[in-house]
Structure 1
Amino acid sequence: MKRMSGRRYLPGEVRQFNTLLEMLHQTADTYGSHLAYMYRRDPGAHVHYRTYGEFIEEIECLATGLIQMGLSDKHIGLLSENSYEWAVIYFAVANGVGVIAPFDAKLPSIEIGNLLNYSDVEAIFFSPKQLPKVVEAAKNSDIKYFICIDTMKSKNKKLKIPDDKRFIRYSDIRQRGATALAGGDDSFKQKEIDVDAPAALIFTSGTTSMAKGVMLSMRNLCANVMSATGSIEAFPGERVLSVLPLHHTFETTAGMLTPLYYGCCICVNDGLRHLAANLMEWSINILIAVPLLIENIYKRVDKGINESGKRNMINLMRPLARTMRSVGVNANRRLFRSVLDGLGGALRMIVVGAAATDQEVIETFSDFGVEFYQGYGLTEHSPIIAVTTKSNNVVGSVGPPLDKVELMIDDPVSYGDPTGEILVRSDSVMIGYYKDPEATAEVITDTGWLRTGDLGYLDESGSLHITGRSKSMIVLTNGKKAFPEEIEMYLNMIPGVVDSIVWGERNARDAVDICAQLQIRPSELPIPDKSDEDIGTYLESYIQFINKKMPRFKMIKQFVFTDEEMSRTTTMKVRRHIESEVIRNKLEAAGMTVRQANGMNINRLQKRD
């Protein structure tokens, strides 16, 4: 059993605050006239700007209006794409009105309806794009108010709100609050906040099971921001591109709250199709992302290098730049200025979470002069647990624990192996799961340790290495254990493979075979003939190569492939339980085992009699 306590890796003292609104006021006291937000209503349209002072003013107007409506201490839902208003609503509700419950805007109507009922919301904010889902949910709902964020409306589209007194407009509430404030109403400003009561109700993505409602307190949220500032540094005025969905705590904390602590300007992405244009146009300094997003940017950069004819020159310059940096001469950004200009010219830092990133991608961006950090977290920990730092950036790790965060590796999986379940303890650990004390008791020990369900180990530098999920761990009949994530990392390096999923399958001898499904992108396969047979042969050759690197018990015995998108969360993780069911159903429909389908396109299996 190995334990470690995190520390600050950056100089200076962290600002102390008890609420996120207090943090925001601290920032505004110094940078009140600085931009807090830049955003558009439509790609290519006029850019709107909001200073820190204007941001706080709108929060106070909206919060006062909500209190006037009798929504104090109530659960309030939020169903919207990323926007400036999303941040205003989050701050207003969580900092004194009630409990904010953000939902995944990509969920279907039936799931939205279920979550609305389960979360006990009495009002819900929704964007114009979500109107059809909300209208459907309103048919059988006791919710008092359905609040349309009408200010998000596209200028080119009419907004028709149902003729139902429960449906009201965001702008009307904001104006009601502004009028009350002007008349001396200070109910929001004077309201005392219990920092240990629920402030946010976050529903997990459910990659291995059904989503759970995570209750986070104001103390949890503030503690995680303060701890994060000991590892990752940003500067006033730097521009951060908001790309990942804000209903995920990784984007909330890393992409919104922490930048606002530093006085950064958050630029709301126009959509994934416009990512490259936004990087260029707004000269973005910091990008918070997931591996798949960064790998797509990497492919675009790599393609540009090939088309420029500078491949050989850059290949020669990269080792030179690395050597110069090792002796204290950091000329990377000057040497690779032409490459960085293709990313807007100002990109200084990339922070990636949610899954492991291909090491070649990390090394390439680092060689070009972009600081690249890999983080690890859990919704139940508000969410950040560990992140690599400038002084502790061990290859393959997710870095040391944050300041004031304790880590412990429990229950090694086998004798002599340092790998075990990761436990974490800090002020960022959730209150518990909503309406589920039994599930809470299963993951939070009597001494306050949160069982993450992830497996990993701490190296000599104090850096954490993630090896997999305990729930997805494959236990072989000889007692040995294999981690799908480790094998998937190698499969995802195959040219033309987008992603993969690995599982254990019992064979006719009752032994467990390691099997895989590879999601391919045919246009990126480096083979002339794209027939299923040739693709299977191509993948088989790579899998044989990978197997030679593996211990015998980790070797892939059977595989299938697909050119269809696998089921994912909004942070682009494959939903294992759903995708496993899809694979099983396809095999059963064809009357085949995975052994019989080995090397085939799973979408074109011929039914056996």
Structure 2
Amino acid sequence: MVTRIFDLLENYQTNYPDKRNAFVKKEGTEWIPFSTEQYVNYSNFISYGLLENGIKKNDCVITITNNRPEWNFVDMGLAQIGAIHVPLYPTINTKSYDYIILQCQPVAIFVSDYFLYEKIAPLLKKHVSIKLVYSFEKVKSVSHWTRLLETGEKAKHKLEKELLAIKNSIQANDLATIIYTSGTTGNPKGVMLSHHNFMSNVMASASSLNLDSTHKTLSFLPINHVYERMVNYQYQFKGISICYAESMDTIGENLRELKPHGFATVPRLLEKVYDKIMTKGKSLPFLQKTIFLWAVNLGQRYELNRANGWWYEFQLKIARKLVFSKWQEALGGNIKFMCSGGAPLQVRLERLFWAAEIPVQEGYGLTETSPIIAANKNAYPDVKFGTVGPVLKGVEVKIATDGEILARGPNVMLGYYKNPELTKEVLDDDGWFHTGDIGCWEDKRFLKITDRKKEIFKTSGGIYIAPQEIENKLKESPFIDQSIVIGEHRRFPSVIISPNFVFLKEYCRRKKIPFENAEQIIYNQQIQIRIWKEIQKMNTNLDHPKKIKSFRLVATVWTPETGELSPTLKLKRTVLKNKYQLMIEEIYS
């Protein structure tokens, strides 16, 4: 029975004992596999090594690393001794690390490389709770993680009975991890999740994954994030090989090398894949471009269960052979599923990828719900475009009178770490978690998310604006990379746009518009008129008081590194409004 995180290890050993490629990572030009035997032994040695170094149940241990097999060995090693795993983003700043370390008082930290060690090095003397620091790659003056393995292997016989006793003492509802949410405002919140929170989600969602132990996946979303971490556990439960991408920049190359059968992603990455495909398609010779655009237009009208009729299906068969087969090849040629979460997925992309026989299963959840609340499955009738699917088995959902989605079930967090007041704000006495998202039902069983409760604002004329819906629609334009809708307590809504400069450069080349740099092109009158045309196209679907009346272009590309986006690629609205405060005042002056 898999009820605790480390039960996955025994499940792996029992059901997939001879697997040679449980995990795979790239070193130099070679892909290095790790077998079931290595996984089990390394995890156990980590447990023994930690115990030998005095780390005990309920101690906090931080990991700051990229996606790699070693993360799993440490994760399981910590779970088996009842230590609390605190995985952190490698991209956050030193100030955030300082805050988290002060709050959770870790006794040890694992980092992946020299760069990340340098980020936390100034904090090591400041925080006296930290006794041990290990690195996964060789870093001067830092203990390599293999030294911990050696310590554990030597202590095995001495500590075997003790480890078994500790494992037997750990209950499913015990605290297993604290996941600090990236946060779009203020300090990060520590979400406390139990073993059962995670494992209930894994067990309930495993049936939606149409892969087995003969398949492999590519992992590239941050493994410290609840979404990729839960999927990572799900893969392990089903014995699916996990290949870790070298970086976010090498995803395309790694897909072609490994030819995986699926992966978890976020809408922003799918949008970028689509943009690259469209840019390439539009640069084809006339006849090929005509066929390409015909196939894309056909795909955007795709309906499930052959609802468009035989003539559409006949055309689709041709489009798949001539155009969409090349999309599969670009993703390695074997993709059977993609799951998408973290933000709303554009419906046109959902239809298009399904038409291309690359099914995207959109789901919904939060860190506080471990994370899945609802998810589309991989076949009709358990899929509905534009929704996040049916509610997960064992989870309850209701819509409050103000439209807020409330969830209750075994996946709901224990609370926020050292913050009972904030916990009470979101968890009521009946166990309902208040998600902060606005939603509704479609066909009485499919959940649809419409916006974030806190992001909905009112103009000075009393009109409610749901910015996320407008922003998502604007991103359908190839000219627009990101946008933020503004206008709270103002006369009308406006938008600040970060254009898609890759597309713009190609567009300017075709239209013979000089493109020297981003700063120059955003003030070009032809470009301004063209992007306003895109806004007007979106405006046709809005009621008159909700239409965008003004806009500004900016020369900056918004990224997590530059601070405008969270690590999960969500807009940091407060940061953006502060950054463009003068521009906003100019719009409404």
Q: TM-score, normalised by structure 2?
A: 0.88
1:194-273 maps to which residues of 2 (within 5 A)?
194-254=171-231, 256-273=232-249
For each residue in 1:298-321, what CA deviation from the matched residue of structure 2 results, as whole angstroms up to 9, or x when unmatched? 233334445565444455567599
Alignment partner of 1:577 is 2:574: yes
- Larger proportion of helix: 2
CA contact (8 A) 1:405 1:425 kept: yes
Structure 1 residues 112-121 or 167-176, which shifts more? 167-176
Equivalent position of 1:286 in the other structure: 262
Q: Specify whether residues 541 and 459 from structure 1 end up closer, same or farther in structure 2 by C-alpha distance, changes over 3 A only.
A: same
Q: CA deviation at 1:446?
A: 0.5
Equivalent position of 1:63 in the other structure: 47
Alignment partner of 1:398 is 2:388: yes
Q: Larger relative contact order (C-alpha < 8 A, sep ≥ 6)?
A: 1
SS in 1 for 2:274: helix
**Quick one: distance in 1 between partners of 2:488 and 2:463?**
15
Q: CA deviation at 1:183?
A: 5.1
SS in 2 for 1:82: coil
SS in 2 for 1:581: helix
CA contact (8 A) 2:96 2:188 kept: no
1:51-130 maps to which residues of 2 (within 5 A)?
51-73=35-57, 74-128=59-113, 129-130=115-116
Alignment partner of 1:188 is 2:163: yes
CA contact (8 A) 1:505 1:515 kept: no
CA contact (8 A) 1:127 1:149 kept: yes
Alignment partner of 1:593 is 2:586: yes
Q: CA deviation at 1:371?
A: 1.4
Equivalent position of 2:375 in the other structure: 387
**Quick one: distance in 1 between partners of 2:50 and 2:80?**
12
**Quick one: distance in 2 between partners of 1:492 and 1:556?**
14
Equivalent position of 2:516 in the other structure: none
Q: Which AA in structure 2 matches 1:39?
A: K
Equivalent position of 1:301 in the other structure: 277
Equivalent position of 2:27 in the other structure: 41
**Quick one: distance in 2 between partners of 1:78 and 1:204?**
15
**Quick one: distance in 1 between partners of 2:269 and 2:16?**
31
- Total equivalences in the alignment: 552
2:481 pairs with 476, 494, 498, which one?
498
2:523 pairs with 525, 529, 532, which one?
532
CA contact (8 A) 1:39 1:83 kept: yes
Q: Specify whether residues 505 and 140 from structure 1 end up closer, same or farther in structure 2 by C-alpha distance, changes over 3 A only.
A: same
CA contact (8 A) 2:135 2:143 kept: no
Q: CA deviation at 1:426?
A: 0.6
Equivalent position of 1:373 in the other structure: 361
CA contact (8 A) 1:37 1:49 kept: yes
1:1-40 maps to which residues of 2 (within 5 A)?
16-34=1-19, 35-40=21-26
1:463 pairs with 440, 446, 455, which one?
446
Q: Which AA in structure 1 matches 2:215?
A: E
**Quick one: distance in 1 between partners of 2:530 and 2:215?**
45
Q: Which AA in structure 2 matches 1:222?
A: M
**Uncovered stretches (5+) of structure 2, i.e. residues with no partner:** 514-520, 559-563
Percent of aligned positions that are identical? 25
**Quick one: distance in 2 between partners of 1:306 and 1:213?**
46
**Quick one: distance in 2 between partners of 1:377 and 1:322?**
26
- RMSD, aligned α-carbons: 2.4
**Quick one: distance in 1 between partners of 2:522 and 2:85?**
51
CA contact (8 A) 1:230 1:403 kept: no
Q: Which AA in structure 2 matches 1:199?
A: A
**Quick one: distance in 2 between partners of 1:296 and 1:553?**
32
CA contact (8 A) 1:480 1:553 kept: yes
1:127-206 maps to which residues of 2 (within 5 A)?
127-128=112-113, 129-150=115-136, 152-153=137-138, 159-161=139-141, 168-182=143-157, 185-191=160-166, 192-206=169-183
Equivalent position of 1:276 in the other structure: 252
Q: Which AA in structure 2 matches 1:374?
A: E
Q: Which AA in structure 2 matches 1:295?
A: E
Q: Specify whether residues 379 and 61 from structure 1 end up closer, same or farther in structure 2 by C-alpha distance, changes over 3 A only.
A: same
CA contact (8 A) 2:346 2:386 kept: no
Equivalent position of 2:341 in the other structure: 353
Q: CA deviation at 1:288?
A: 0.6
**Quick one: distance in 2 between partners of 1:492 and 1:322?**
20
CA contact (8 A) 1:126 1:134 kept: no
Q: Which AA in structure 1 matches 2:163?
A: F
CA contact (8 A) 1:82 1:245 kept: yes
Equivalent position of 2:457 in the other structure: 474
Q: Specify whether residues 361 and 292 from structure 1 end up closer, same or farther in structure 2 by C-alpha distance, changes over 3 A only.
A: same
Equivalent position of 1:601 in the other structure: none
Q: Specify whether residues 300 and 393 from structure 1 end up closer, same or farther in structure 2 by C-alpha distance, changes over 3 A only.
A: same
For each residue in 1:140-191, what CA deviation from the matched residue of structure 2 results, as whole angstroms up to 9, or x when unmatched? 11133232224x34xxxxx311xxxxx5332111111111225563322331
CA contact (8 A) 2:124 2:130 kept: no
Equivalent position of 1:542 in the other structure: 534
Q: Which AA in structure 2 matches 1:196?
A: N
Q: Which AA in structure 1 matches 2:140?
A: K
Q: Specify whether residues 67 and 208 from structure 1 end up closer, same or farther in structure 2 by C-alpha distance, changes over 3 A only.
A: same
For each residue in 1:44-93, what CA deviation from the matched residue of structure 2 results, as whole angstroms up to 9, or x when unmatched? x2221012232121111101110111111201111111111112111221
For each residue in 1:390-448, what CA deviation from the matched residue of structure 2 results, as whole angstroms up to 9, or x when unmatched? 23221211111111111110023xxxxxxx00000010100000111010011001110
**Quick one: distance in 2 between partners of 1:140 and 1:549?**
55
**Quick one: distance in 2 between partners of 1:306 and 1:540?**
22
Q: Which AA in structure 1 matches 2:478?
A: P
SS in 1 for 2:208: coil
CA contact (8 A) 1:491 1:518 kept: no
Alignment partner of 1:558 is 2:550: yes
